[in-house]
Amino acid sequence: MAAYLDHAATTPMHEAAIEAMTATMRTVGNASSLHTAGRRARALVEESRERIGVALDARPSEVIFTSGGTESDNLAIKGTYAARRATDPSKRTIVASAIEHHAVLDPIEFLVNTQGARVRWLGVDRGGRLLVDSLDELLAERADSVALISVMWANNEVGTVQPVREVVTRAQAYGIPVHTDAVQAVGHLPVSFADSGVDLMTITGHKVGGPLGIGLLLARRSAGLVPLVHGGGQERQVRSGTLDVPGIVGLAAALDVTVAQREAQTRRLTALRDRLIEGALGLGLGAQVTGTWRAGDAQERLAGHAHLIIEGCEGDSLLYLLDAAGIECSTGSACQAGVPQPSHVVLALGHTEAQARGALRLTLGHSSTDADIEAFLGALPAVVERARRAAGVA
Ligand SMILES: Cc1ncc(COP(=O)(O)O)c(C=O)c1O
């Protein structure tokens, strides 16, 4: 079997989630129907909402089910922007970190291109941590015009954890709503919606051992959100559409397992991640680790995230050669029209384009083992040699 080192892309479902979901798929019921089958489906949804509230320390009424992280990010950004502009048209500035996922970057660009928004991207230091001072400067200059601030909880490429609490403290002083994309954080860090102080938080099922195509936005009751999808008025009139009852049940079951196993998994994965990074750096290939990394630490960098730059190689060549050797991983960045683009995250950390092209992301999760790490380290020297030859370097 291949060594799967791409848990940040999607992680295998937990058995309990598969069982809960398949049992629900065998029953009929639209949660909006009034007959017995409908009420049974509704009961499953509301029970799941409560369990999710417990897992994430949120009120059940703060849970809005969506189709996943991308939709939740879009709803948070576009829905808040529209609501804030409706009450005060001068609130046109959106503030976000430069290392957000495209599910945050692109809705912001859309609002800039079509809805008169202005954006201020906040930089990060070499370790990948938000420069909070730049937020202070910006707020001192133009807090009145800020519609919202969006800063992810943990980065999906390098795994650095962001100072969300510090952002919230500053935003609250000016009454500015804060959204955080916590897609990569849940399961690796303690995530409490109540304690975080944020107004909106994005979560997706398939990164926590739940099904694909289901996620949620946690939204405080006070958060004004203009809906993006209109129809049957489900989910507080904010997100219409027939609820995916099996998906919701599967997500609740997965979150239960993920949160219950978090501490033990974090310890285990930190040791595996450190072995991977130390092993890769020690092979004499000129590899460097990207972002903050201290052996044993899982507060500043996610326990499951390793991210390397191997200069003189194209990340895509590394990926395909590793795949051929039975190792599945990622470059972390997207292709546009089939052309690999250097990652905006790696560039934001201050690396050159040449370095960014040699980026490789290796992410671990609940099914990762020592054997996966050893398989990767065993395959890497020959793969790097071939990738450098292909690039004309070696
Ligand atoms: C940080 C982050 N936000 C959002 C998403 C998108 O989530 P989904 O795949 O559920 O749409 C991802 C997925 O890679 C992610 O890593």
Expressed in angstroms and rounded, the spacing between residue 37 Cα and the centre of ligand 1 is: 33
Average pLDDT, the chain: 96
How many CB atoms within 10 Å of residue 115?
12
How many CB atoms within 10 Å of residue 229?
16
> How many angstroms separate the CA atoms of 205 and 214, rounded?
6
pLDDT of residue 272: 98
pLDDT greater than 80 at residue 333: no
196-200, 353-357, 362-366: the lowest-pLDDT one: 353-357
> How many angstroms separate the CA atoms of 270 and 212, rounded?
26
How far is CA 70 from each of CA 18, 60, 102, 144, 213, rounded to the nearest angstrom?
23, 21, 8, 28, 10
pLDDT of residue 313: 93
Check pocket membership of 103 for ligand 1, CB cut-off 6 A.
yes
Rg of the chain (C-alpha set): 21
- Write the CB contacts of 75 (distance below 8 Å, at least 6 apart in sequence): 64, 66, 217, 225, 227, 228, 238, 239
User: To 5 degrees, how large is the angle CA 65–CA 48–CA 31?
Assistant: 65
Expressed in angstroms and rounded, the spacing between residue 174 Cα and the centre of ligand 1 is: 29
Check pocket membership of 101 for ligand 1, CB cut-off 6 A.
yes
pLDDT greater than 80 at residue 340: no
pLDDT of residue 271: 98
**Is the CB of residue 127 less than 8 Å from the CB of residue 270?**
no
Residue 142 burial by Cβ neighbours in a 10 Å radius (0-12, 13-18, 19+):
middle
pLDDT greater than 80 at residue 336: no
* φ, ψ for residue 289, nearest 5 deg: -95, 140
Six-digit token string for 304: 């499951």
Closest-CA residue, ligand 1 atom 8, reads: 69
How many CB atoms within 10 Å of residue 262?
17
Which residue numbers are catalytic?
335
Q: What is the pTM of this model?
A: 0.97
pLDDT greater than 60 at residue 78: yes
How many CB atoms within 10 Å of residue 381?
12
Reported as a pLDDT band with limits 50, 70 and 90, residue 341 is confident
Check pocket membership of 204 for ligand 1, CB cut-off 6 A.
yes
Summarised one tens digit per residue, pLDDT across range 230-286 is 999 999 999 999 999 999 999 999 999 999 999 999 999 999 999 999 999 999 999
Expressed in angstroms and rounded, the spacing between residue 183 Cα and the centre of ligand 1 is: 6
Which stretch of DSSP H or E encloses residue 336? strand 335-336
* φ, ψ for residue 286, nearest 5 deg: 80, 20
pLDDT greater than 80 at residue 88: yes
Region 350-366 average pLDDT? 96
**Is the CB of residue 228 less than 8 Å from the CB of residue 184?**
no
pLDDT of residue 371: 98
> How many angstroms separate the CA atoms of 181 and 69, rounded?
8
Summarised one tens digit per residue, pLDDT across range 185-228 is 999 999 999 999 999 999 999 999 999 999 999 999 999 999 99
> How many angstroms separate the CA atoms of 134 and 130, rounded?
9
